[in-house]
């Protein structure tokens, strides 16, 4: 089975994570966002396929912001539809 998703990775400072996530979500083709620490351990995984309105997205964004505030560097792995 061939994957229909494309993965992109971004290495960011913790302060830039929330801004980047919001930008990616606005693009509209994001299926899942994974946030990893410097040791490549997954801290958070947010599926976005079910998000229909921005109000539903508010709690995950708050959690992403809180996690990012604790990190100096992190990796965002983004799955997008092709």
Of residues 8 and 58, more confidently modeled:
8
- Average pLDDT of the residues in 57-73: 66
Could you tell me if 81 and 5 are in contact, meaning their C-beta atoms sit under 8 angstroms apart? Answer: yes
Q: What pLDDT sits at residue 5?
A: 75
* Neighbouring C-alpha atoms within 13 Å toward the C-beta of 56: 9
Q: pTM of the prediction?
A: 0.68
Strand partners, 74: 12
Whether residue 69 is predicted with pLDDT greater than 80 in this model: the reply is: no
Q: What is the pLDDT of residues 2-33, one digit of tens each?
A: 557 789 999 888 778 778 877 887 777 788 88
């Amino acid at each position: 089975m061939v994957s229909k998703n494309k993965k992109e990775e971004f290495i960011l400072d913790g302060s830039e994570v929330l801004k980047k996530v919001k930008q990616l979500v606005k693009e509209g083709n994001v299926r899942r966002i994974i946030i990893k620490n410097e040791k490549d351990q997954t801290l958070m995984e947010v599926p976005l396929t079910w998000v229909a309105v921005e109000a539903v997205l508010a709690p995950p964004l708050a959690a992403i912001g809180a996690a990012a505030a604790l990190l100096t560097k992190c990796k965002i792995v983004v799955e997008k539809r092709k």
